[in-house]
């Protein structure tokens, strides 16, 4: 066989192999980017459900005149911040505000036995708690999807394809610093049992 022909055949196979690899890498990166986007969209759907419950919660709490106004306003402001956010980073930040405001609202509600006994309040609180669990699951799935995507675009040789095609890393959803700190433990003063 002619050496030039052999070199030509090897070059053609090399070009075909490289082309197939580049197409495969590009398609995989597109799929992973879309999976991360879909994971965020799934979070957005459940967040919408939580936002639909917030006016009901505020309405029930408003019926108790002694309830702290600033606590309710924090929930309302956080909900407005979410509605006005555009990017996923802004939405995540607004969601952290809502989570903090809801935590404070439910903690303050402990001081109002009539409110806690209200069936509408209990129903909305249970619904929001269920939604919070779903949000936590979806955040975990989102972070898994983003982590796989970020690893893939940072590894050689996919790094070269990612750089040429403009793929950029995506941020993980993180717990705000204040939510990572342990709160104080409070124990009721109860008499010790006597023997």
HEC readout, 45-83 = HHHHHHHHHHHHHHHHHHCCCCCCHHHHHHHHHHHHHHH
Residue 193, pLDDT score: 45
Q: Is residue 99 part of a domain?
A: yes
Rounded-to-integer distance, Cα 5 and Cα 8, Å: 5
Residue 74, pLDDT score: 82
Q: Domain tally for the chain? A: 1
Q: Is 44 helix (H, G, I), strand (E, B) or coil?
A: helix
Residue 177, pLDDT score: 58
Residue 194, pLDDT score: 46
Rounded-to-integer distance, Cα 108 and Cα 70, Å: 11
The model's pTM: 0.69
Rounded (10°) angle between helices 158-165 and 3-62: 70
Residue range of the domain that includes 67: 40-139
Q: Is residue 18 part of a domain?
A: no
Residue 39, pLDDT score: 92
Q: Is residue 129 part of a domain?
A: yes
Taking alpha carbons only, the member of 44, 51, 33, 63 closest to residue 145 is 33
Q: Is residue 98 part of a domain?
A: yes
Q: Is residue 2 part of a domain?
A: no
Residue 115, pLDDT score: 79
Q: Is residue 83 part of a domain?
A: yes
Q: Is residue 6 part of a domain?
A: no
Residue ranges of the chain with per-residue pLDDT less than 50: 180, 182-195
């Amino acid at each position: 066989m002619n050496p030039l022909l052999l070199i030509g055949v090897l070059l053609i196979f090399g070009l075909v192999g490289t082309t197939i690899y580049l197409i495969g890498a590009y398609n995989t990166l597109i799929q992973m980017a879309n999976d991360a986007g879909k994971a965020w969209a799934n979070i957005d759907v459940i967040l919408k459900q939580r936002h639909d419950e917030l006016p009901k919660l505020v309405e029930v709490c408003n019926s108790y005149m002694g309830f702290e106004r600033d606590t309710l306003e924090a929930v309302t402001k956080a909900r407005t911040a979410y509605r006005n956010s555009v990017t996923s980073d802004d939405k995540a930040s607004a969601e952290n505000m809502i989570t903090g405001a809801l935590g404070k609202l439910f903690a303050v509600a402990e001081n109002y036995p009539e409110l806690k006994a209200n069936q509408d309040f209990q129903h909305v609180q249970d619904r929001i708690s269920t939604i919070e669990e779903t949000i936590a699951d979806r955040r975990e799935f989102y972070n898994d999807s983003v982590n796989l995507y970020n690893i893939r675009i940072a590894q050689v040789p996919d790094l070269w394809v990612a750089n040429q095609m403009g793929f950029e890393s995506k941020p993980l959803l993180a717990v705000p610093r204040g939510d990572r700190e342990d709160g104080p433990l409070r124990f009721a003063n109860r008499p010790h049992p006597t023997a």
